[in-house]
Amino acid sequence: MSVMVNVDSLSHRYGERQALSNLTLSVPDGEIFAVLGPNGGGKTTFFRLLSTLMPIQSGRIQVANLDVTAQTHLVRQRIGVVFQSPSLDKKLTVLENLRHQASLYGIRGQLLRHREAELMRSLGITDRANERTEKLSGGLRRRVELAKGLLHHPQLLILDEPSTGLDPGVRADLWNYLGKLRNEAGVTILFTTHLLEEAERADRIAIFHQGCLVANDSPENLRASVGGDSIQIECTEPQQLGECIAAQFGLQPQVIDSTIRLEVPNGHRLVSELMQQFGKRIHAIRLGKPSLEDVFISKTGHHFWE
């Protein structure tokens, strides 16, 4: 399996705060790869380092076998970047924004006209070519941002929180297009997100917590690593009830805030027994298959949004 991005022992500090700590991971070529984590987990710092916006303090990043520090110019030719914050000039038309971007890469003439037409057609913005981007909806502006990032045919497309500000319908269109881009053009796509449901769309997910990599696998394998069913119990005295459950059933409950969490096979049977034994002490009980939230709790001991 060829690798598009290779990260080795990457660390970064902002004064006393450790934003990334000894991060090592690889992104396979031709995959959609999610970097998932709550705000403050290190995602944005990683995005900035990977997209060459900040110098690397410690460690190494390679993109398409090119060193980000030593071969920055060549790396920039191979990556397309779509920022969370809009980067369009709102007083320029769609076409003018694309042509300004093209000039940064020396794309002109017939090649430029071909790529403009190709991208606007693929992203459904051909009829908006001569409109100022300030008049476009948030979803259409996002499509123009994508067109800018893809104009020079990058091998790696990097997106920071790509669904920010998009309604559900536009978000679905975006992911359909990104899937098509991976399948038909072979572009590797890496995106950061704090949305659990968005990360589910990736081929592989790297979960960040407080600057550290705590898990890295396919969504299916991550959920399977939790094992069995997930039971969450809400009660007034979780520590005491957790100890009673441990003694009664020989389990190891995990207590987080006012919630007791259990991972067991055949969870429906245990739910019935728990209600028979401790029903008066339980306010609410939920049974479900493991989710990415459960994976995060299992790896960190914290709720995702804590």
Average pLDDT value for residue range 276-303? 90
Local confidence band at 298 (pLDDT 50, 70, 90 cut-offs): confident
**Residue range(s) in the chain whose domain bears CATH number 3.30.70.790:** 228-289
Q: How many residues does the chain have?
A: 306
- The pLDDT of residue 21 is above 60: yes
Q: For residue 86, what pLDDT is reported?
A: 80
Confidence of residue 209 (pLDDT cuts 50, 70, 90): very high
Structure tokens at 197: 């449901």
Average per-residue pLDDT for the chain: 93
pLDDT of residue 158: 97
d(CA 176, CA 196): 18
Would you state the pLDDT for residue 39? Answer: 87
Judge whether 133 and 141 are in contact, CB under 8 Å.
Answer: yes
CA distance 38 to 21: 16
Q: How do residues 126-174 score in pLDDT, each as one tens digit?
A: 999 999 999 998 889 988 999 999 999 999 999 999 887 777 887 888 8
Pairing assessment for the beta strands 204-209 and 188-193 based on DSSP bridges: unpaired
HEC profile of 38-75: CCCCCHHHHHHHHCCCCCCCEEEEEECCEECCCCHHHH
The whole-angstrom distance between residue 247's C-alpha and the CA centroid of its chain comes to: 40
32-81, pLDDT tens digit by residue?
999 999 988 999 999 999 999 999 999 999 999 999 999 999 999 999 99
Q: Which CATH class is domain 3-222?
A: alpha beta
Q: Would you identify the CATH topology of the domain 228-289?
A: Alpha-Beta Plaits (3.30.70)
Q: Considering only CA atoms, which of 280, 277, 232, 276 is closest in space to residue 258?
A: 232
Band of residue 27 on the pLDDT scale cut at 50, 70, 90: very high
pLDDT, tens only, 77-129: 999 999 988 889 999 999 999 999 999 999 999 999 999 999 999 888 999 99
Distance of alpha carbon 136 from alpha carbon 95, whole angstroms: 13
Q: What percent of the chain has a predicted confidence (pLDDT) above 90?
A: 76
Q: How far is CA 104 from CA 76, 77, 108, 111, in A?
A: 11, 10, 10, 14
What's the confidence (pLDDT) of residue 306? 57
If DSSP states are collapsed to H, E and C, what string results for the chain? CCEEEEEEEEEEEECCEEEEEEEEEEEECCCEEEEECCCCCCHHHHHHHHCCCCCCCEEEEEECCEECCCCHHHHHHHEEEECCCCCCCCCCEHHHHHHHHHHHCCCCHHHHHHHHHHHHHHCCCHHHCCCEHHHCCHHHHHHHHHHHHHCCCCCEEEEECCCCCCCHHHHHHHHHHHHHHHHHHCCEEEEEECCHHHHCCCCEEEEEECCEEEEEECHHHHHHHHCCEEEEEEECCHHHHHHHHHHHHCCCCEEECCEEEEEECCHHHHHHHHHHHHHHHEEEEEEECCCHHHHHHHHHCCCCCC
Q: How many CB atoms lie within 10 A of CB 301?
A: 13
CA 94 to chain centre: 27
- What's the token pair of residue 201? 């769309």
